[in-house]
């Protein structure tokens, strides 16, 4: 039980976030209006995705250092969960953009960067599919995973900031923390980031266990 | 240090000799870029100077991108596995990847300059700041060579290298391509050079990241 406290924490935080997100008091902003509640869901999903991708890259580095196949399994499952979070982030973002910016997929550098980032990780999955030998697949896809993450970071954090973007914090717009969020919203937003990340870790853990069982059954 | 530079020189010399002896591959690449430029010229059916600068610039970089992917894809598949094993007993993997990147940079420079002159010849040359545009080509050649060489090493290990090369390299190359498009557009419009320093710095940073990663990761790749 002592090892599972973080699962309980994740459930608690997410329940709190749901309640606050649907019923809590939010500041009234022009254009955003009530859709500002999406800050609790859309933004933490992206933060969670980046944290999960970083973890995936770290496990790939671990694999290259010691060659344990278990690390590779963990790396690919973290990448899978991150892709799921990315798709959910896109969905919540489209919904939000539809109300505030007028169309579900405006031509915005951040959206396009993220779409390219998703392509990069889908290519990672395709690369994995094209090997039969386990060790070979693990080594080569670990190399690509590290490489992809190193390109993903400038793609997400630097390129959108050099051009004009609709997103806050880019192209000279102030970041959302500066004027949109009051301290009350922050009390929900930061736990939401932790909660969604923990949920991602939980999903990953389950999938890793399924994979390990499959490997044992196959032997 | 001097020894390692000498070894890299020998490896580079080997690459050039190999290319020179299989001249059909080199001639193929040269013809590929000239052909691609000409196909675009005829497809647009444009008289000189009719394309808007944005289309002119983008089209040129797309042609260069496809040429680069085709040219660099073969850097690991044109030699048999046995012979590669022999090289690895002679030199360290870092020396091999660096010499391959340097060689591919030289190849890309030749292709880019040839492509640019043919392109400017048939479609007109609206570039206002030619030295800056050429500098962009050099930066692009380094960046393309550095990132695509490692990707071609990855793809060559898999079942279906040609498709995989394209799928893996498009998203990886995109941040670099966007920055290069921006700088070259500035050069095209003849804007003041100080406008481009930011992007120039980003391109150099991306080049540095990609080079370091190739250096660090290639030793793990060749062993499989």
Question: Is residue A142 assigned to a domain?
Answer: yes
Question: Is residue A22 assigned to a domain?
Answer: no
DSSP A37: G
* Best residue in B150, B167, B171 for a mutation probing chain A (most A CBs within 10 Å): B171
pTM metric for this prediction: 0.82
B170 neighbourhood in chain A, CB within 8 Å: 119
How many domains does chain A divide into? 1
Question: Is residue A81 assigned to a domain?
Answer: yes
The pLDDT tens digits of the residues spanning B21-72 come to 777 778 888 899 999 988 888 888 766 667 788 888 999 999 999 999 988 8
Residue A83, domain extent: 29-218
B210 neighbourhood in chain A, CB within 8 Å: 150-151
* Best residue in B65, B147, B158 for a mutation probing chain A (most A CBs within 10 Å): B158
Residue A204: C-alpha distances to residues A63, A80, A207, A213, B159 (Å): 17, 8, 5, 14, 29
Measured distance CA(A122)–CA(B118) in Å, rounded: 37
Question: Is residue A15 assigned to a domain?
Answer: no
Cα-only R_g, chain B: 18
- Residue A184 makes CB contacts below 8 A (sequence gap 6+) with A24, A25
CB of B159 within 8 Å of a chain A CB? The answer is yes
Residue of A nearest to B155 (CA): A127
Question: Is residue A94 assigned to a domain?
Answer: yes
A167, A74 Cβ separation under 8 angstroms: no
Could A159 and B154 be called an inter-chain contact, meaning their C-beta atoms sit closer than 8 Å? no
> Which tokens sit at B82?
């046995």
Which residue, among B120, B115, B116, B176, has the nearest Cα to B143 in the 3D structure?
B176
* Best residue in A123, A131, A153 for a mutation probing chain B (most B CBs within 10 Å): A123
Measured distance CA(A158)–CA(B120) in Å, rounded: 32
Residue of B nearest to A126 (CA): B164
> Given its phi and psi angles, is residue B51 left (phi above 0), alpha (psi -120 to 50 degrees) or beta?
beta
B149, B75 Cβ separation under 8 angstroms: yes
Tell me the residues of A at the B interface, defined by beta carbons under 8 Å apart. 64, 113, 116-117, 119-120, 123, 126-127, 130-131, 135-136, 139-140, 142-144, 146-148, 150-151, 154-155, 158-159, 162
B33, B111 Cβ separation under 8 angstroms: yes
A44, A193 Cβ separation under 8 angstroms: yes
> Which tokens sit at B68?
């680069």
Which residue, among A3, A8, A22, A21, has the nearest Cα to A192 in the 3D structure?
A21
> According to the model, what pLDDT value does residue A209 have?
92
Could B210 and A151 be called an inter-chain contact, meaning their C-beta atoms sit closer than 8 Å? yes
Question: Is residue A14 assigned to a domain?
Answer: no
Alpha-carbon dihedral sign for residues A158, A163, A167, A170 = positive
Percent helix, percent strand, percent coil in chain B, to nearest 5: 85, 0, 15
Could A117 and B171 be called an inter-chain contact, meaning their C-beta atoms sit closer than 8 Å? yes
Residue A96: C-alpha distances to residues A41, A108, A113, A165, B141 (Å): 11, 14, 18, 15, 40
Question: Is residue A9 assigned to a domain?
Answer: no
CB of B199 within 8 Å of a chain A CB? The answer is yes
Question: Is residue A1 assigned to a domain?
Answer: no
> According to the model, what pLDDT value does residue B8 have?
79
Q: What is the pLDDT along chain A (219 residues), one digit of tens a residue?
A: 568 888 888 888 888 888 888 887 777 776 776 777 888 888 889 889 999 999 999 999 999 998 888 899 999 999 999 999 999 998 888 888 888 787 888 777 778 888 888 899 999 998 888 888 888 889 889 999 998 998 888 788 777 766 666 676 554 444 555 455 667 777 888 888 899 999 999 999 999 999 999 988 987
> According to the model, what pLDDT value does residue B63 have?
92
Which residue, among A51, A50, A52, A168, has the nearest Cα to A108 in the 3D structure?
A168
With a cut of 70, list the residues of chain B below it in pLDDT. 1, 46-49, 79, 224
> According to the model, what pLDDT value does residue A173 have?
45
> Which tokens sit at A117?
């980032």
């Amino acid at each position: 039980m002592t090892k599972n406290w973080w699962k309980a924490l994740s459930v608690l935080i997410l329940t709190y976030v749901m309640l606050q997100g649907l019923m809590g008091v939010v500041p009234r902003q022009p254009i955003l209006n009530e859709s500002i509640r999406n800050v609790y869901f859309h933004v933490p999903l992206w933060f969670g995705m980046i944290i999960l991708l970083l973890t995936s890259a770290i496990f790939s580095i671990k694999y290259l250092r010691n060659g344990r196949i278990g690390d590779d399994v963990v790396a690919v499952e973290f990448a899978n969960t991150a892709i799921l979070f990315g798709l959910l982030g896109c969905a919540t973002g489209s919904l939000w953009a539809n109300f505030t910016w007028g169309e579900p997929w405006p031509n915005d550098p951040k959206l396009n960067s993220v779409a390219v980032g998703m392509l990069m990780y889908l290519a990672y999955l395709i690369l994995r599919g094209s090997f039969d030998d386990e060790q070979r697949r693990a080594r080569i896809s670990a190399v690509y995973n590290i490489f992809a993450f190193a390109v993903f970071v400038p793609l997400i954090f630097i390129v959108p900031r050099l051009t004009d973007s609709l997103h806050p914090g880019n192209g000279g717009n102030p970041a959302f923390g500066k004027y949109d969020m009051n301290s009350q919203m922050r009390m929900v937003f930061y736990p939401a980031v932790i909660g969604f990340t923990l949920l991602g870790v939980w999903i990953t853990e389950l999938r890793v266990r399924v994979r390990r069982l499959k490997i044992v059954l196959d032997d | 240090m001097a020894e390692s530079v000498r070894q890299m020189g020998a490896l580079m010399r080997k690459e050039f000799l190999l290319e020179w002896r299989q001249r059909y591959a080199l001639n193929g690449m040269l013809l590929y870029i000239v052909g691609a430029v000409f196909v675009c010229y005829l497809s647009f059916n444009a008289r000189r100077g009719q394309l808007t600068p944005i289309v002119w610039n983008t089209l040129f970089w797309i042609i260069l991108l496809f040429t680069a992917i085709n040219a660099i894809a073969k850097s690991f598949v044109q030699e048999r596995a046995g012979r590669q094993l022999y090289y690895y007993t002679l030199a360290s993997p870092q020396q091999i990847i660096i010499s391959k990147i340097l060689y591919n940079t030289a190849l890309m420079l030749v292709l880019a300059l040839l492509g640019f002159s043919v392109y400017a010849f048939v479609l007109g040359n609206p570039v206002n700041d030619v030295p800056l545009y050429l500098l962009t080509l050099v930066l692009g050649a380094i960046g393309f060579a550095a990132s695509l060489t490692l990707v071609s090493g990855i793809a060559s290990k898999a079942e279906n290298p040609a498709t995989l090369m394209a799928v893996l390299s498009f998203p990886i190359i995109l941040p670099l391509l966007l920055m290069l498009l921006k700088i070259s557009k500035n050069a095209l419009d003849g804007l003041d050079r100080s406008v481009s320093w930011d992007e120039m710095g980003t391109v150099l940073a991306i080049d540095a990241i990609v080079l370091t990663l190739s250096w660090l990761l290639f030793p793990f790749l060749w062993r499989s």
